Amino acid sequence: MNGAQSLVQTLINGGVEICFANPGTSEMHFVGALDQNPGMRAVLGLFEGVVTGAADGYARMAGKPAATLLHLGPGLGNGLANLHNARKAASPVVNIIGDHATVHQPYDAPLTSDVVAFAQPVSHWVHCSRNARDVAADAARAIQAAKAAPGQIASLILPADTAWNEAERAYPALPVHGPAEVGALAIRQSVAALRGGRVTFLLRGDALRGRGLAAAGRIAAATGARLVCDTFAPRIERGAGRPIVERLPYRPTPAIEFLRGTETLILVGTQAPVAFFAYPGLPSELTPPGCTPLVLAQPHEDGASALEAVAEAIGATQAMVAAKLRRPEAPLGDTVLTNEAIMRIVGQFMPEETIISDESLTAGFPFYRLLDEAPPCDYLQLSGGSIGNGIPMATGAAIACPDRQVLSLQGDGSAMYTVQALWTQARERLNVVTVIYANRAYAVLREELASVGAVEGEKAFSLLELKNPSLDWVQLANGMGVEAVRVDTCRGMAAAFQAGMKATGPFLIEALV
């Protein structure tokens, strides 16, 4: 058994059964070991940002890490943006990064770089194995680190000779440090706040799913407390049968206004709200004056159980406030397509248990609530703010949940960063429908240019628009083996969307808005 073989078996022992890969020469023994071991599925991405974004989407839906296989410092570099997003989403990921053989590292060959330094800005845990016999134990520790609550990025750097030299055996799974129990004091403080005044819960992580969300719903029903989530929560269970959780507005002034009147802001799995960006003269902190933030559960703590304990303490044992199924009305005629119409058509026709990867940004944001009473779905968002997350995330989610429909709501500007993910969708025949909001601009930046008060001339505008030439998304998708259509009316969108939902394999809709 060589080091690479000990690695692959150790990953499998630790419950890692998918490897999103973009390998190079220094990873060839790992590729060989993947080949030999039927317990590991390997999924090729044609760019590393696809690989890391897919690992993020997989982790959000599977609740456990995939491995990535990346080539040296620059290959990791290409994957950093989506690892940043995964880090902010608290998605567990195990990165396996090849490096030059230890004996080769002093020679400054063309691809020599400081791989540890590349890994550090996005990793909670970084280690470089120095010996093939250490690889299995190091990999077991990497898995343990990735699974530590609430989910971490673990980067294991493996020089090529640690792959090809002899190792002894694989390592078993190490114990996982699950979420910490919330102390009695925090629960008592929350109970007191609920009895004393107007409370808003700000929820994230497990508090937005399953029993955590149900407990929050019971508390809301019993006390009238508001349920709110971060503007870009990593994953939310939405739709019929779930409590409606309001979304914090994106911009500072509306966000502060939105929270005004709250006396206590109870934080579950998140931090007190802050602005996405700073603006001249506007505050960074969004907690309004007179409102006290109170931490019920930190991100590494068991927010779901804490909410259940609070619900029990206040006697909130009755039914939760839950949405009834009421699909939005949708325009279906030969009328011009709008961002609102797209979301209405989505709500009208999407099946139950759809997984929605939303990177529609300015296009979809104002119409988010149209899905409040749609069929139950999982909603995944760009939690780290680095665009180019959506298509890979949809890809990884579809690998994690092969029996569910995935829907990728995607701005055209952000789609271009990791457009190569469409090819992986085609190769793996994933049931992903991608809707490109083709507004042919970095629309959010136009708003930003105005809101920072910067000059708005022709040259500045040309840096923010995707025209001259316009992108042709049907050709781009077809070029990667994905069926696609272009629509510019509501009737066309509705027909295309229904066709996409029925299709086997990926489908892309270029929606001209």
Q: Which of residues 433-472 bind a second copy (CB under 8 A)?
A: 444-445, 448-449, 452-460, 462-464, 466, 468-472
CB of 163 to a second copy, least distance (A): 9
CB of 76 to a second copy, least distance (A): 9
CA dist 442 and 462 (Å) reads: 10
User: Is residue 205 close enough to count as binding a second copy by CB under 8 A?
Assistant: no
Pairing of the two strands 199-203 and 264-268? parallel
User: Is residue 253 close enough to count as binding a second copy by CB under 8 A?
Assistant: no
Q: Which of residues 329-368 bind a second copy (CB under 8 A)?
A: none
Q: Which of residues 285-324 bind a second copy (CB under 8 A)?
A: 285
Cβ(408)–Cβ(433) under 8 Å?
A: yes
CB of 27 to a second copy, least distance (A): 9
Q: Nearest CA to 389 among 403, 410, 367?
A: 410
User: 3-state DSSP call for residue 291?
Assistant: coil
Give the type of residue at 293.
P
CB of 57 to a second copy, least distance (A): 17
Among 419, 433, 490, 513, binds a second copy (CB under 8 A): 419
CB of 452 to a second copy, least distance (A): 5
Which of the ranges 43-51, 205-213, 287-295, 350-358 carries the binding residues for a second copy, by CB under 8 A?
Answer: 43-51
User: Is residue 111 close enough to count as binding a second copy by CB under 8 A?
Assistant: yes
CA dist 296 and 294 (Å) reads: 6
Which of the ranges 311-319, 352-360, 379-387, 393-401 carries the binding residues for a second copy, by CB under 8 A?
Answer: 379-387
H or E element in which residue 378 lies: strand 377-381
CB of 71 to a second copy, least distance (A): 8
User: Is residue 101 close enough to count as binding a second copy by CB under 8 A?
Assistant: yes
What is the three-state SS of 136-175?
HHHHHHHHHHHHCCCCCEEEEEEEHHHHHCECCCCCCCCC
User: Is residue 114 close enough to count as binding a second copy by CB under 8 A?
Assistant: yes
Which of the ranges 97-105, 341-349, 369-377, 393-401 carries the binding residues for a second copy, by CB under 8 A?
Answer: 97-105
User: Is residue 12 close enough to count as binding a second copy by CB under 8 A?
Assistant: no
Among 229, 341, 480, 485, binds a second copy (CB under 8 A): 480
Which of the ranges 299-307, 349-357, 385-393, 490-498 carries the binding residues for a second copy, by CB under 8 A?
Answer: 385-393
H or E element in which residue 357 lies: strand 354-359
CB of 235 to a second copy, least distance (A): 15
User: 3-state DSSP call for residue 79?
Assistant: helix
Q: Which of residues 211-240 bind a second copy (CB under 8 A)?
A: 232
Tokens describing residue 179: 């979420």
Tokens describing residue 399: 């690998």
Q: Which of residues 160-199 bind a second copy (CB under 8 A)?
A: 160-161, 164
CB of 430 to a second copy, least distance (A): 13
Cis status, amide bond into 469, omega within 30 of 0? yes
State the sign of the Cα–Cα–Cα–Cα dihedral 367, 368, 371, 377. positive
Compose the 61-80 pattern: x for residues touching a second copy by CB under 8 A, - for all others.
-----------xxxx-xx-x
Cα 78 from chain centroid (whole Å): 17
Task: Give the number of other Cβ atoms within 10 Å of residue 249's Cβ.
Answer: 17
Among 9, 13, 85, 408, binds a second copy (CB under 8 A): 85
Cβ(154)–Cβ(16) under 8 Å?
A: no
